[in-house]
Chain A
Amino acid sequence: MFYREAGQFKTSYAADAAIFPVAQDRWFIIAALAFLFLVVPLLANQYLYTEVLIPVLILSIAAIGLNILTGYCGQLSLGTGGFMAVGAYAAYNMALRVPDANIILVFLFGGVMAMLVGILFGLPSLRIKGFYLAVATLASQFFLEWAFARVKWFTNYAPSGSVAVGKIDLFGFPIDTPGKKYLLVLAIVAVLALAAKNLVRGRIGRMWMAMRDMDIAAEIIGIRPLHAKLSAFAVSSFYIGVAGALWGFLRLGSWEPLAFDINRSFQVLFMIIIGGLGSILGSFLGAAFIVLAPIFLNQLPHWIGIPLSTAAISHIEFMVFGAMIVLFLIVEPQGFARLWAIGKEKLRLWPFPY
């Protein structure tokens, strides 16, 4: 009843191709953005910022990045952690050696460095496909992990092997409270998400999806496989690199290479499987799920009154994630995003069943 499109006529193809063609959706997204920017800062506490909002937002960027490569372009990658590390360490080194650099430039530099490394490690994708490519991306993951642990220059010869960032400020404003960090991250995420959405709706997104669905047929219409795959690697790595830089600077403050190990790669991959492959919204939903689930599981013992050790909880977490992956793949391979779309369809018809 409320979600009806009656009376909404699209008088141009441009209107038909808009991100939110349905008016109610437009209102919803405006309301959501207003809520996130204006209302949340009034309500949230430190815990919410540092343990929920900031991680979800930053990992969403990583998820969008991986989704572009794996979900839209069909190139399976297990190297996400390594590319996040590139972004983080590149940003760290720039902030270290160019002390007055604008923080946005620092983050962008992290992204650009990750993009270059991504293109390099993406070159094999021209000869290698599918599982083989996944193993090749493992090479990049383990190599990068090792490099940041062993090449002393990257960590500025720190004896402990870990690095820490100093104070952050944006055009003179200190970014020192969780609330301010949240707003900065939110702004960056909003811009990057819109950019990604625009990319995937246009000719470049179609080019990537053509490569994913049938690379042989993609050549028939004139798409060059080299260009398509490398551009996917480039954009994807840029996003993942920025996410890595944000993660290091605004979430952790100080880190070791372990923060970006193979488990991180799996974590982001799970996000896009559960959230929905080939969906920007799905990247957000998946990130939210992966971040919130452990928190929820941690609280569960208190609620049902059974004490569980942290180790036990982490094992249960593994089981739940594994089971959910399998469940989603069997029941709804397109993840939460598809469930969301189905939900909206039902809402359109509500209160009628069909």
Chain B
Amino acid sequence: MLGPILETLIGGLLTGVLYSLVALGFVLIFKASGVFNFAQGAMVLFAALSVARLSEVMPVPIAIMAAVLIMIALAYAIEFLVLRRLVNQEGIILFMATLGITYFLDGFGQTLWGSDIYKIDLGMPKNPIFLLESVFPGGLLIDPSELIAAVICAVMVAVLAIFFQVTRVGRALRAVADDHQAAQSVGIPLNHIWLLVWAVAGIVALVAGMMWGVKLGVQFSLSLVALKALPVLILGGFTSIPGAIVGGLLIGAGEKLAEVLLAPVLIKAFDLAGGGIENWFAYVLALMFLLVRPQGLFGEKIIERV
């Protein structure tokens, strides 16, 4: 019994890493501009689509570089057309704007690149790895692409964390996140900052999209994956990079374990037609968390001054 559970746990943790990658993009933008970018998921999809389609007509590394440029161009377009015109609006307005951007990107991406399922081939080993064959019969099954994704994710997190804490630009970003007007008044160029942040978030989305695309194939349901990043943010806190990681791991492992351990119990108890708990487990978990600790594990406590 322990073997399969462990396998599920490891699989869940690795999936969790992928969630974290998507959540990272959210955290970046929220930390730097206070904008809750609902469109992060659509950006992931768009980036993945670009790489998938471009790699059909050019070598994969070139396709990736082209996709990076595309994401930077996208960031510029979003900053210029939307963000610049909504400076100082309330958070909820900005959130709804990113909702609109999501729908637009969704339609635009599929118009541009098509809506079939596309493959990304990054040349990663496909054969499953078997761990600890001496302990468990047959060994624990691990997907190597997920393992590589985990490593890449770790590297990205380290780089970003250092960037925010240490560099001047990072400090400026934190100032902007706190108060747009105040940051402007000390001379921080809002537009440049936002452009930079959204570009970086776009690149993070690209990495996430590629990792997910290798795993699932690139298709529309990727946006739903992005929605899953929201519970990750709740657990980890909206402004914490380590939080995005921990949250992702918790959610990834949690929902897989719930499906394997909890679902059979529920099916029996309520005479259900099948499992599928994964669809909502993450959100309900996040909800419980919110009731106990609204700011997440690592987030900043919100104090309202009168």
Q: Which residues of A contact B (CB under 8 A)?
A: 76, 124, 127-128, 130-132, 134-136, 138-139, 142-143, 145-146, 149-153, 161, 216, 262, 266, 269, 273, 311-312, 314-326, 329-330, 333
Contacts and interface: CB of A to CB of B under 8 A. Distances in A.
Nearest to B111: A315
B99 interface: yes
Nearest to A330: B85
A132 B100 contact: no
Contacts of A76: 92, 95
Which among A134, A138, A312 has the greatest number of chain B C-beta atoms within 10 A? Answer: A138
A322 B99 CA distance: 7
B107 A150 contact: no
B280 interface: yes
A319 B82 contact: no
B287 A139 contact: yes
B91 interface: yes
Given A127-B294, A326-B82, A315 B280 contact: no
Given A325-B103, A329-B96, A150 B294 contact: no
Contact of B283 (A143, A315, A316, A322): A143
Contacts of B238: 131
Contact of A326 (B89, B104, B270): B104
Contacts of A315: 106-108, 110-111, 115
Nearest to B39: A322
A322 B230 contact: no
A227 to B, nearest CB: 19
A127 B289 CA distance: 11
Main secondary structure of the interface of A (DSSP, over half): helix
B280 A146 contact: yes
A318 B96 contact: no
Interface residues of B, number: 50
Contact of B92 (A127, A130, A142, A161): A130
Nearest to B274: A150
Contact of A322 (B92, B106, B291): B106
18 contacts: A127-B290, A130-B92, A132-B294, A135-B234, A135-B287, A142-B283, A143-B283, A145-B279, A149-B273, A150-B272, A150-B276, A161-B273, A318-B106, A322-B100, A322-B102, A326-B104, A330-B82, A333-B89
The list of the 3 closest CB pairs from A to B, nearest first, reads A322-B104, A318-B107, A325-B100
A78 to B, nearest CB: 9
Nearest to B234: A135
B286 interface: yes
A329 B100 contact: yes
B276 A124 contact: no
Contacts of B95: 76, 131, 134
Nearest to A323: B104
Interface string B208-237: 000000000000000000010011011000
B123 to A, nearest CB: 31
Given A132-B290, A266-B99, A325-B96, 14 more contacts: A131-B36, A132-B294, A139-B286, A151-B273, A269-B96, A314-B107, A315-B115, A316-B107, A317-B107, A318-B106, A319-B111, A323-B104, A325-B100, A326-B97
A124 B105 contact: no
B101 interface: yes
B162 interface: no
B133 interface: no
Nearest to B105: A322
A128 B276 CA distance: 27
Interface string B274-298: 1111011001101100110010000
Interface string B5-22: 000000000000000000
Contacts of A323: 100, 104
Given A130-B91, A131-B95, A315-B115, A143 B284 contact: yes
Given A127-B291, A315-B111, A152 B100 contact: no
Contacts of A329: 86, 89, 93, 96-97, 100
B181 to A, nearest CB: 19
A323 B106 CA distance: 11
Contact of A150 (B81, B100, B231, B273): B273
A146 B89 CA distance: 36
A132 B286 CA distance: 9
B81 to A, nearest CB: 8
Contact of B100 (A136, A153, A326): A326
A319 B291 contact: no
B290 A319 contact: no
B287 A124 contact: yes
Contacts of B270: 151
A136 B234 CA distance: 10
A136 B284 CA distance: 8
Nearest to B104: A322
Nearest to B95: A131
B231 A135 contact: yes
Contacts of B91: 130-131
Contact of A216 (B93, B106, B230, B306): B306
B36 A149 contact: no
Given A318-B106, A322-B104, A138 B93 contact: no
A188 to B, nearest CB: 29
Contacts of A131: 36, 91-92, 95, 238
B264 to A, nearest CB: 13
B86 to A, nearest CB: 6
B234 A132 contact: yes
A316 B96 contact: no
Given A127-B290, A132-B294, A136-B290, A321 B276 contact: no
Contacts of B276: 146, 149-150
